[in-house]
């Protein structure tokens, strides 16, 4: 990996295939970057003659995409930097073509007040790699009891509020959060998981978990909590982001809510698109996740929901855990997996298999999350931030977890063969990664 901080010299990309979901364009063209923004986009033609001070990049037919926007990333900073720092997460993101990340609030201290939001933003500016935005906690300490200062955190720069992996069990508290957030125009994200059915679970309930002797959570736990959340959205009119739909039954509940016109959006993780419960194999803790991996029927339902556009956003669900937290008996191991560097090539699998058109896949990690959060990036348009990824679509990759950039190496894709190599990542016109 080579890191380059170019001083602002104009860049021209030629001999490339532009893929821009925001405009629906997928075809040949060229693009010029000046002073951190996209100065011009030429679709279907060449750039013509340019001045000698422009850095010319011949893409050799490679794809040029908007930089990925990953809206669910955990780091260990502040508080548990042994897992991941903001800098190591930013380096991993750059290597994976992710140019914007939203970090979760369950740090130490929790991001539940404006001063911690400001700390995250200042640290990101100091690092000068990818764009880092905080999500604020919906409740103080993310404990589900007392509402946090949602309005002040939004003013300080948090993009949405949530309690990360912890569902807000008290319906009155969640109603207050939704009502208060609506008054400030703030998006609320919530994990649908019934806490009593989920307590102590290490896997999805079913025949496979029973054979392994693992305590399981039934798939219905997701639907039960989601139905409660959707009812509160109907009551309050607030915007809700459903954090990681993973089961067929919950997807049907979400489909009905969308048909009723409720202001709800859903994500799923690249892990639940790519793996099922069988992948935990002989107690493979790198595949222990929260939510747990589901049945193959559930996985196929998630893929269909992504393909149809019902699930609009795919996230890495990046959750670093050091070896000492993973190399334990399965039911004692920490859940979570890193994913910033593998998000894009894993997502491209569904293009290579002919399941989902390329432009629709790229939308799930560029324009859709950017539009949801009101960000100007995620598109190849004149005047937009020059956040770009140059990609060799067909280059083979053998994922070696030990060679991934993240501080923690807990990747379920370890040993898997994927296709799609990031050649160059650009943020605000600066090259932050070059293969």
64 beta partners: 18, 390
Phi, psi of 97 (to 5 degrees): 80, 10
Residue range 347-368, pLDDT digits in tens: 999 999 999 999 999 999 999 9
Residue with tokens 């690249």: 270
- For range 288-312, the mean pLDDT: 98
Indicate the pLDDT class of residue 46, thresholds 50, 70 and 90: confident
Give the tens place of pLDDT for each residue, 110-156: 999 999 999 999 999 999 999 999 999 999 999 999 999 999 999 99
- Per residue in 153-193, pLDDT (tens digit) is 999 999 999 999 999 999 999 999 999 999 999 999 999 99
What gap in Å lies between CA 71 and CA 148, rounded to an integer? 20
Instruction: State pLDDT tens for residues 240-276.
Output: 999 999 999 999 999 999 999 999 999 999 999 999 9
Q: What's the pLDDT score for residue 51?
A: 83
| Position 48 confidence tier, pLDDT thresholds 50, 70, 90 | confident
The pLDDT of residue 147 is 97
Average pLDDT of 63-90?
97
Q: Would you say residue 3 has pLDDT above 80?
A: no
Q: Where do the structural domains in the chain lie, given as residue ranges? A: 11-64+385-434, 67-373
Distance between CA atoms of 429 and 425, rounded to whole angstroms? 9
Report the range of poorest mean pLDDT among 7-16, 110-119, 192-201: 7-16
What 8-state DSSP symbol labels residue 147? B
Query: In a 3-state reduction of DSSP, which class is residue 426?
Result: strand
Reading the block at residue 316, the tokens are: 């890495």
Closest CA to 313 of 321, 323, 302: 302
pLDDT at 6: 47
Q: Residue 3 gets which letter from DSSP?
A: -
The dihedral region occupied by 420, where left means phi > 0, alpha psi between -120 and 50, and beta the remainder, is left
Nearest C-alpha neighbor of 71 from the set 99, 95, 91? 99
CB 425 within 8 A of CB 94: yes
- pLDDT tops 60 at residue 7: no
Residue 286: CA count within 13 A, CB half-sphere: 16
**Is residue 47 scored above 90 in pLDDT?**
no
Say what the pLDDT of residue 365 is: 98
User: Which residues are CB-contacts of 435 (< 8 A; sequence separation ≥ 6)?
Assistant: 1, 2, 421, 422, 423, 424
Q: For 11-64+385-434, which CATH superfamily applies?
A: Urease, subunit C, domain 1 (2.30.40.10)
Residue 235: name the closest of 266, 262, 253, 265 by CA.
262
For the chain, give the percent of residues with pLDDT over 70. 98
Beta-bridge mates of residue 131: 100
Sign (positive/negative) of CA torsion 163, 167, 169, 170?
Answer: positive
φ/ψ region of 266 (left if φ > 0, alpha if ψ in -120 to 50, else beta) reads: beta
pLDDT at position 97 is 98
Q: Are 269 and 314 in contact (CB under 8 A)?
A: yes
Threshold 0.85, pTM exceeds: yes
Mean pLDDT, range 294-315, rounded to an integer: 98
Looking at residue 205, what is its pLDDT? 96
Mean pLDDT of the 187-212 span? 96
Q: Smallest Cα–Cα separation from 291: which of 173, 373, 190?
A: 190
Quote the percentage of the chain above a pLDDT of 90. Answer: 96
Q: What is the CATH number of domain 67-373?
A: 3.20.20.140
Q: How confident is the model at residue 5 (pLDDT cuts 50, 70, 90)?
A: very low
45 pLDDT tier (thresholds 50, 70, 90):
confident
Residue 309 has pLDDT above 70, yes or no: yes
CB of 161 closer than 8 Å to CB of 177: yes
What contacts 251, CB < 8 A, 6 or more positions away?
245, 301, 302, 305, 310, 311
Looking at residue 4, its pLDDT comes to: 45
């Amino acid at each position: 990996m080579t890191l380059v901080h170019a001083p602002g010299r104009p860049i021209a990309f030629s001999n490339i295939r532009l893929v821009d979901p925001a405009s629906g364009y997928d075809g040949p063209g060229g693009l010029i970057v000046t002073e951190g923004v996209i100065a011009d986009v030429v679709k279907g033609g060449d750039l013509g003659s340019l001045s000698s001070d422009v850095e010319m990049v011949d893409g050799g037919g490679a794809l040029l995409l908007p930089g990925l926007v990953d809206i669910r990333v955990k780091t260990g900073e502040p508080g548990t930097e042994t897992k991941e720092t903001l800098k190591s997460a930013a380096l991993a993101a750059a290597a994976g073509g992710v140019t914007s990340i939203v970090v979760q609030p369950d740090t130490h201290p929790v991001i539940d007040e404006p001063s911690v939001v400001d700390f995250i933003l200042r640290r990101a500016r100091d690092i000068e790699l990818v764009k880092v935005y905080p999500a604020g906690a919906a409740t103080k300490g993310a404990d589900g009891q007392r509402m946090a200062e949602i309005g002040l955190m939004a003013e300080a720069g948090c993009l949405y509020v949530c309690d990360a992996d912890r569902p807000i069990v008290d319906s009155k508290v969640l109603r207050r959060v939704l009502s208060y957030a609506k008054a400030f125009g703030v998006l609320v994200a919530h994990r649908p998981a019934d806490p009593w059915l989920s307590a102590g679970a290490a896997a999805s309930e079913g025949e496979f978990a029973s054979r392994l002797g693992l305590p399981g959570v039934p798939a219905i736990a997701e639907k039960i909590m989601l139905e409660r959340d959707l009812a509160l959205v109907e009551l309050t009119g607030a915007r809700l982001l459903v954090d990681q739909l993973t089961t067929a039954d919950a997807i049907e509940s979400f489909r009905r809510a969308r048909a009723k016109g409720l202001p709800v959006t859903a994500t799923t993780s690249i892990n639940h698109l790519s793996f099922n419960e069988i992948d935990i194999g002989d107690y493979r803790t790198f595949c222990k996740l929260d939510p747990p991996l589901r049945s193959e029927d559930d996985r196929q339902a998630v893929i269909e929901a992504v393909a149809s556009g019902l699930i609009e956003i795919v996230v890495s669900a990046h959750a670093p855990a050091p070896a000492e937290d993973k190399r334990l008996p399965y039911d004692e191991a920490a859940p979570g997996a890193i994913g910033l560097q593998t998000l894009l090539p894993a997502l491209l699998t569904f293009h290579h298999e002919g399941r989902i058109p390329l432009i629709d896949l790229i939308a799930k990690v560029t324009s859709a999350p950017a539009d949801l959060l009101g960000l100007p990036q995620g598109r190849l348009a004149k005047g937009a931030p020059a956040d770009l990824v140059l990609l060799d679509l067909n280059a083979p990759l053998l994922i070696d977890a030990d060679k991934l950039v993240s501080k923690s190496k807990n990747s379920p894709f370890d040993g898997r063969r994927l296709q799609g190599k990031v050649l160059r990542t650009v943020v605000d016109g600066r090259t932050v990664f070059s293969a």
